[in-house]
Chains A and B, each alone.
Chain A
Amino acid sequence: DAGVIQSPRHEVTEMGQEVTLRCKPISGHDYLFWYRQTMMRGLELLIYFNNNVPIDDSGMPEDRFSAKMPNASFSTLKIQPSEPRDSAVYFCASSLLWDRNTEAFFGQGTRLTVV
C-alpha cells in the first residue's frame, strides 16, 4: 500500500494568493483528517470526514479555510486568501474505522510557507 499521499510536499506562495493542498487517503479508509502543525500550537485537528461527509470542522481557524472531499480517494484543503500566519505543516491522515482503539495513518505532510 502506498500510504496516504499528499501533494505538494512544499509550497511557497505570496500573501493573498489561493493555496490548495491535496490528499489521497489509503484505499478503503473511510475517515480522513486534516491536521496543522506549528511550533506555537503543536498538532491541531482542523476537520475530519466520514464517507466524504464533513463530521467536525470546529478546528478550522477561519472562513478563509475550506475543505472538500468529492470522492473517497481525494480531498483538498484550500486557503483563500492566504496569510503569513498560515505557514505551517499540514498533514492529512486516514483511518479504516474511527473507533476508540483505532489509529490514524499520516501522510508526509505539506510544508506551506506564505511570504
Chain B
Amino acid sequence: AQSVTQLGSHVSVSEGALVLLRCNYSSSVPPYLFWYVQYPNQGLQLLLKYTTGATLVKGINGFEAEFKKSETSFHLTKPSAHMSDAAEYFCAVRRYGGATNKLIFGTGTLLAVQP
C-alpha cells in the first residue's frame, strides 16, 4: 500500500537560507503526492501537488517540489526562508485501488525559522 516517510520531525533554518524538507514515498502504482502546510492553530492548506506531467511542481509561497521516481522522493524546497514559513509541513500520498481511496499523511516536519 502507498505510504510516505518524512525524514526529520524538526528542521531549523536561518531566515534567508534554503529550506529542504524531505519526503520519500512507497508505491507500486503511479503515485499522487501532496504537500500541505499547517500554521499554528489552523487547518491544513495545500502547498502543491504532483499528479502527472512535469516533475518539478511549483506551489504557493515560493515553495516547489521535485518528483524523482528513481529516488522515490518528493522533497519540498524554498530558496530563501522567511519567518512566516514557520509551520508544520505534511507530505501525503493518495492510497487507491479497489474500494480504497484515501489521503495518507506523513508524520510531519516542524520548520523553525531563526532570525
Contact = CB atoms under 8 A, between A and B. Distances in A.
Interface stretch (B14-22, B65-73, B78-86, B95-103): B95-103
A107 B103 contact: no
A55 B101 CA distance: 10
B51 A107 contact: no
A29 B36 CA distance: 19
A94 to B, nearest CB: 11
A108 B94 contact: no
Contacts of B36: 106
Interface residues of B, number: 25
Contacts of A43: 44, 90, 105, 108
Interface of B is mostly: strand
Given A43-B90, A43-B105, A101 B43 contact: no
Contacts, number: 48
A56 to B, nearest CB: 7
Contacts of B99: 56
Nearest to B99: A56
* Size band of the interface chain A makes with B: 10 to 19
A100 interface: yes
B5 to A, nearest CB: 12
A102 to B, nearest CB: 9
Nearest to B50: A101
B42 interface: yes
A109 B43 contact: yes
A100 B94 contact: yes
A43 B52 CA distance: 25
Interface of B: 32, 34, 36, 41-46, 49, 51-52, 90, 94, 96, 99-108
